[in-house]
Structure 1
Amino acid sequence: MIYKVYYQENMLQVPVRENTQSMYVEADSERSVRKKLSDRQYNIEYIQLLEGQHLEHEQAAPSFKLEQV
C-alpha cells in the first residue's frame, strides 16, 4: 500500500500550513509508516492511504516519487 505523509521538518516549531511538506511511502500499515520514519525528526501531521483513482491521480503528478526508507 502507498501512503501520503504530510509533515513538518522541524519538530520543535508550531506547525504552519505553508511549511507542510509531503512524501509517499510504501508500507503495510500506518503504524509501519510511522516506524519507518521514526529515525527522522519530523512532526507528522497526517498519513493518508492512497487507493484507486486517488492513487492514480497522485502517480500522474510529476512530483510523485516513492521515498526509500
Structure 2
Amino acid sequence: MIYKVYYQENLLQVPVRENTKSIYVEADSERSVRAKLKDRAYNIEYVQRLEGIHLEYEQAAPHFELEEV
C-alpha cells in the first residue's frame, strides 16, 4: 500500500500549516510507515492511506515521487 505522510521537519517546533510537507511511502501498515521514518526525526502529523481514485489522482500529480525508505 502507498501512504501519504504529512510532517514537519523540526520535531521541536510547534506545527504550522504553512510548513507542512508531505512524502509518499510504500508500506504494509501505518505502524510500518512510522517505524520506517523514525530515524528522520520528523514531527508526523498524519498518515493517510491512498487507494483507488485518490491514489490515481496523486500519482498523476507532477510532485508524486515514492520515497525509498
Tell me if TM exceeds 0.5: yes
Partner secondary structure for residue 63 of structure 1 = coil
Mapped to 2, the partners of 1:23 and 1:49 lie a distance apart of 12
How far, CA to CA, are the matches of 1:14 and 1:24 in structure 2? 23
Unaligned runs of 5+ in 1: none
Q: What does residue 57 of structure 1 align with?
A: 57
Aligned to 2:41: 41
TM-score (ref. length: structure 2) = 0.99
1:2 corresponds in structure 2 to 2
Q: Which runs of 4+ in 1 moved over 3 A?
A: none
| Deviation at residue 19 of structure 1 after TM alignment | 0.1
More helix by share: 2
Report matched runs for 1:19-38 at 5 Å. 19-38=19-38
Amino acid at match of 1:58: E
RMSD: 0.2
**Residue identity (%):** 81
